Amino acid sequence: MVSALGMTAVLGGCGVTGDSGGVTLRLVAADYGDSKANSSQKYWDELAKAFEAEHPDVHVDVTVHSWNDVDREVREMVEAGRAPDLAQIGAYADYAADDLLYEADDVLSIQSQADFVSQLALAGQVNGVQYGLPFASSTRVLFYNKALFEKAGLTPPKSWDDLAEAAEALKEEGVKYPYALPLGPEEAPAETLQWLLSGGGGYTDTVGTYDIDSPRNTGTLTWLKDELVGKGLTGPVAPGELNRADAFAAFADGDVGMLNGHPTLMKAAAAKGVEFGMVPTPGIDGGSRVTLGVADWMMAFRKSGHQKEIGDFLNFVYSDDNVLDFSRRYDLLPVTTSAWEVMSTAEEDKDLQPFLKELVLSELYPVGKTSWASVSADIKKRIGQAVSSGGDPRSVLREIQATAVRAQSSE
């Protein structure tokens, strides 16, 4: 998720007691908007005002930063000894490992905590204890260009073989990117995991141990290398140099036959008049049984000691009306089961329903591991080499696995 609006306000002390004797909660949040008009600042200001009307002794001071800045801003605040009461950012594990966060049990009602979509709640746990509160989520489906498919006489693929055959036909029709494979550094871990899951593998095994160089993962990347990249079916830019944003832009320009995409691609493609379809990610022998899920996180810092006020605010944040409002404003998936049930049947959310169906079958990055940051960085650095001409998927995956083992040993 990328934001276009950044704010650089400098915050003072956090969690202070106001002049009136009330409590001021400081929240630092990420911006999901793409302009000042739909900045997340507007959402949070409205929500804070509504909360304060019900809790007159609590003031909520929200500062929103772009995704380029928000994680760094929070890290610098924490390092300076002035952690915010709440942060809504991209990762929580390091702060949990440093014992800086409230547990979910400390700040959420039983009802609120139990309402999280189970996969998201599990991804927020470290050693069985939930510290990361999912705030926004997304999944991936396969987008295809309807006009290009119709011209080539194709139907949407259901399996890897179908996808390869469709890509061959699109190439014969002169399509620039029959299948866009963005393994560039912007979001290589996502595209990679989507493919590994569709081949029956993933980054970890069933007990959460890194299993990056498994035979299934090696087989998946070998198939990509031999059947798509090696046959010139992934376009003129090497996968390791193609970033997601560029792949999405090419799809919106009508130059891509197929690619994995998340909900924001719908608006970009529609704005340029591209008619597209969406189907579940093809798997090795049919529809993929598991898809990629992505979440951003809310966390509550213990430094201020305002546990009750933080809890009251968070239970308000995760009420159905507020979860639905945020999800609908930014074309994101809800993180609570009750909101998921509403959006899964509501006519106004029909465009998101293919993604909603995938959410309950999703698997997320191992974000509860502090080692994940190092592993993710290594995937961004190396994974494109695995599918390049002359590349060796097995040796690349072994190198990434070695990075994972080293990083995990220091957790």
- How confident is the model at residue 287, as a pLDDT? 81
Pair (131, 146) in one structural domain: no
- How confident is the model at residue 361, as a pLDDT? 86
> What is the strand order of the sheet 141-145 is part of?
177-179, 256-261, 141-145, 276-279
Query: Are 242 and 188 in contact, with CB atoms under 8 Å apart?
Result: no
Query: Are 70 and 6 in contact, with CB atoms under 8 Å apart?
Result: no
Last residue of one domain, picked from the residues 346, 363, 380: 363
Pair (268, 310) in one structural domain: no
> How far is Cα of residue 127 from the mean position of the Cα atoms in its chain?
22
User: Mean per-residue pLDDT for 331-360?
Assistant: 95
**Containing H/E element for 293?**
strand 291-300
Is 73 a member of any domain? yes
User: Mean per-residue pLDDT for 29-53?
Assistant: 93
Pair (397, 265) in one structural domain: yes
Pair (66, 188) in one structural domain: no
Give residue 65's pLDDT band: very low, low, confident or very high (50, 70, 90). very high
User: Mean per-residue pLDDT for 146-160?
Assistant: 98
Q: Is the predicted pLDDT of residue 13 greater than 70, yes or no?
A: no
- How confident is the model at residue 21, as a pLDDT? 58
Pair (121, 58) in one structural domain: yes
Torsion, CA 203, CA 208, CA 214, CA 218, rounded to 10 = -10
- How confident is the model at residue 292, as a pLDDT? 94
Pair (204, 269) in one structural domain: yes
Pair (256, 333) in one structural domain: no
78-135 tens-digit pLDDT: 999 999 999 999 999 999 999 999 999 999 999 999 999 999 999 999 989 999 999 9
> How would DSSP label each residue in 104-168?
HHHHS-HHHHHTB-HHHHHHTEETTEE--EEEEEEE-EEEEEHHHHHHTT-----BHHHHHHHHH
136-148 tens-digit pLDDT: 999 999 999 999 9
Q: Is the predicted pLDDT of residue 163 greater than 90, yes or no?
A: yes
Minimum mean pLDDT among 12-16, 54-58, 230-234: which range? Answer: 12-16
The CATH number of the domain holding residue 246 is: 3.40.190.10
Model's pTM, two decimal places?
A: 0.87
Which range marks the domain in which residue 379 is found? 141-280+371-409
List Cβ neighbours of 220 (8 Å cut-off, separation of 6 or more).
Answer: 195, 196, 198, 199, 201, 284
- How confident is the model at residue 58, as a pLDDT? 97
- How confident is the model at residue 37, as a pLDDT? 85
Number of structural domains (the chain) is 2
- How confident is the model at residue 410, as a pLDDT? 78
Give residue 4's pLDDT band: very low, low, confident or very high (50, 70, 90). very low
Pair (237, 330) in one structural domain: no
Pair (107, 184) in one structural domain: no
Is 322 a member of any domain? yes
Pair (133, 156) in one structural domain: no
Is 18 a member of any domain? no
Pair (145, 257) in one structural domain: yes
Is 333 a member of any domain? yes
Pair (134, 151) in one structural domain: no
Angle between helices 215-223 and 393-409 (to 10 degrees): 140
